[in-house]
Amino acid sequence: MFTELLREGGLSWDRLQSFCLVAQAGGVTRAAKGDPARQSLFSRQVKELEEFFGTELIRRKGRGIVLTEAGARLHVISRECFASFLDFKNQCKNQPVEVVIGAGESLIQWLLMPRLDRIRERLPNVRLKLLNLPTAEAVKRLADGLIDFALVRKDAVARPLEAKPLGVMSYSLFVPAGLRATRGRKDGLRVLDGLPLATLEGEGSFRTALAAAARKQRVRLNIQVECSSFPLAARAVAGGKVAAILPSIAAAELLGASIERVAIPFLKAFDRDMSLAASPRLVRIRPVLERIGAVLREVCAF
């Protein structure tokens, strides 16, 4: 079956590994890390693969390279093949299988980490690697075969990727008790009027919509702290001087005698259907991922 493929010279595990290193690094020089001998080796091996397959795999762009359509396909095939063989070897030797999960900082800190012991109990021979990635980057890496799972919004996942539901992520206002006591009880968005707030920096969709609603209801937003992530805003809230609108799953870390969660009907519009995304192709190549995915969906359900 493979006689014709293996009859010619130019194809080898070593050459495919070198090609993957060059593809991931975005250039031969970067992949070689300044070693002239390795740089020459990588260039030669990529050229030999191009001659073997009869097509261009990389093109120069500035000081780096870009993959051609054929090169991108070969990169995915090679990585999946390496991963499949590594799974097989580890399982035969009863060694841990590595699984890479990409998710935002909020989901890692407030969803995955509190459930980590339960996940490890259910998957004792699996080594988890958690990567803090924005949604778009997590989905791209999943499609490229660079990670195994992504915890992302359901509407961010498109075919051929597949999304399995985890539940709805909602948002709440978290207020230190001292601030709430001095300001009395206000309903709806009025509770934010003049309240010292920590929020996300920039002008994302959430911040823009909140500002528009505040203007409409003549509510003054008193933003005192801007943060690059919700967990950083939560740390500001824990200090007792500012409040913040955060994913409701932050309650496990914040709620207590000094922090109160306040429901605001307006925030219902920001509910997000969350999912565990995976590549069906990769699951077929690495069957162990099907069982791991089932455990993650069960343990991480909202």
The H or E element that residue 227 is part of is strand 222-227
Nearest-5° Cα angle at 265, 253 to 170: 40
Q: Measure the CA dihedral 162/166/170/174, to 10°.
A: -130
pLDDT at 57 over 80: yes
pLDDT at 201 over 70: yes
Distances from the Cα of 261 to the Cαs of 8, 164, 171, 219, 285, in angstroms?
Answer: 67, 29, 10, 20, 45
Q: Nearest Cα to 81, choosing from 13, 149, 161, 1?
A: 13
Phi (first) and psi of residue 64, to 5 degrees: -120, -155
Higher pLDDT, 180 or 100: 100
Query: Average pLDDT in the 82-105 region?
Result: 90
Domain residue spans in the chain?
Answer: 3-74, 98-167+273-299, 171-270
Q: Do the strands 171-176 and 64-67 form a parallel or antiparallel pair, or are they unpaired? A: unpaired
| Both tokens assigned to 127 | 């080594």
Confidence of residue 263 (pLDDT cuts 50, 70, 90): confident
Q: Nearest Cα to 160, choosing from 76, 224, 96?
A: 76
| Both tokens assigned to 105 | 């900082």
Domain 3-74 belongs in CATH node 1.10.10.10: yes
Q: CATH number for the 98-167+273-299 domain, one of 3.50.50.60, 3.40.190.10, 3.30.470.20, 3.50.30.50?
A: 3.40.190.10
| Both tokens assigned to 31 | 């992949």
Equal CATH topology for 98-167+273-299 and 171-270: yes
Helix 69-92 to helix 13-25 angle (10° resolution) is 120
Q: Measure the CA dihedral 153/155/156/162, to 10°.
A: 90
Which is it for the CA torsion 268, 151, 163, 200, positive or negative? Answer: positive
Of 7-11, 286-290, 291-295, minimum mean pLDDT range: 7-11
d(CA 164, CA 34): 43
Helix 13-25 to helix 36-53 angle (10° resolution) is 110
N- to C-terminal Cα separation, the chain: 48
User: At 298, which amino acid appears?
Assistant: E
Counted residue by residue, the chain has a size of 302
Phi (first) and psi of residue 283, to 5 degrees: -65, -35
* Predicted pLDDT at 242: 96
Q: Mean pLDDT, the chain, as a whole number?
A: 91
| Both tokens assigned to 243 | 């409040």
* Predicted pLDDT at 182: 57
Distances from the Cα of 128 to the Cαs of 98, 134, 224, in angstroms?
Answer: 6, 19, 37
| Both tokens assigned to 57 | 């795999």
Q: Does the predicted model carry a pTM greater than 0.85?
A: no
Query: Average pLDDT in the 31-43 region?
Result: 92
| Both tokens assigned to 216 | 């409409």
Express each pLDDT in 214-258 by its tens digit: 999 899 999 999 999 999 999 999 999 999 999 999 998 898 768
Are 274 and 302 spatial neighbours (Cβ–Cβ below 8 Å)? Answer: yes
d(CA 143, CA 279): 7
Domain 171-270, what architecture? Answer: 3-Layer(aba) Sandwich (3.40)
